[in-house]
Structure 1
Amino acid sequence: MTIQTEEELVNSFVNYTHEKNNKSTILYREVQTGYGRPDVLHIEYNENVLNKRKMSYHGPLSTLAAHMMTYLAERRWVSMEKVSKQFDIKNGKLLIILEDLLSRGLIVKNEHLIKSKPRNEILAIKRLGVYEAKLYQWKEAINQAERNLWFTNDSYILMPIKRGKLKNNIYNECKSRGIGVGFFNEETGLDILLKPVRSGVINTPFLWTINEELWKEQLYEYN
């Protein structure tokens, strides 16, 4: 069957990915990243990290808390005074946020000093694969995929199979932008023509926001 619409392309790709991948993956559609809504977000995660914290979902992480985790994840011990100045917030507001992060098991506190726990203990996400799907408008798909590089290195365009000069043009443009190319067909599945120039997650507020949402998904499995 020939794919007629972008919705059919996304639906077929999501169904295919669900069937091909193990249970340590989650797919979201049109997630608000803070700068657009990519068609598909494919998350690969570490089950061991999830299992250790499987009952610690405390609701969505606030925007300020997500930014604070991004800040702390790059540092060792930091004084509360320095964090307060960094985010221009009063001590009372800071204490509320820190209490939330402590209750989630994301940070440790020693008197007036705080730091993030090691990432391998609290960050379950191993990979954020993001796909922008188009049937024909490949230049628009490339522009969208390039914008997603702010929160992940694994950014792809997703299209039905292309051939000849058009295929080469898409390949060359994506290579110059550092993004990947995936051609999809319902019969043959996903063909990765080009991988992104880099791979791996990037420390951003979006990473920590999505990371905490994984525990909600895990709670649904255990209930």
Structure 2
Amino acid sequence: MGTRTIRYTALLACIAALTACTAPPEPPVASPGPELDPQAVNYDNLDFVKSRPSVFDNKCGTLPRDLQSLLGLESKPADGMGGGCNARESWGNLSIHLFSPMSNRKSQAQYFSDAWNGDLGAGGYFQRSILLDRYYAITKIAGSVNDNCTVTVDTGSEQPFEVTASMDFDESIALSAQDVDQPIDRAMRDFCPRATQAAEKLLPLIDENGGSRAR
């Protein structure tokens, strides 16, 4: 490799590094929440808002009363012991809950920015997206055998909104006993769309005029 080629390669590396570090201008905080630039998913250092209240109180009671029919669930959702609103279905489980970034030690608190940068552990799959044109979102497949797919949505709160679709607990235990992971493509086909669709149906109802950059 000649000197000119080495210098050119180094220049491209510098340009790439600068591009990765410089995020595009984000829309100002407004009501209703403004649309987001789809290219923002390529950048790490976005200006995430954390001042809005949570979109629900992590219990079924503050979700729409017709939640079962709205999401086409077979069973009536119920509050989980550790929070969240859960439904057990023939295909697995659906959980609607809040991301809990806080820690007893402020220095160890984690937020949506940590999820956005993959610092929370993403298992076998991790993808950024823009949901409903107005929300930054993360889709990740995790669990001991890739048994769940979680969509984490930045609602401008310290506790983002999450929906997790997962395989039946008994199947997860069986795969663990066999030391076998669920294929990523099955998780993407059978579970991630359920989590995404539930988030897209619920957010307009529980966060009217909201968004990641909403006032």
TM-score, reference length from structure 2: 0.28
Bigger helix fraction: 1
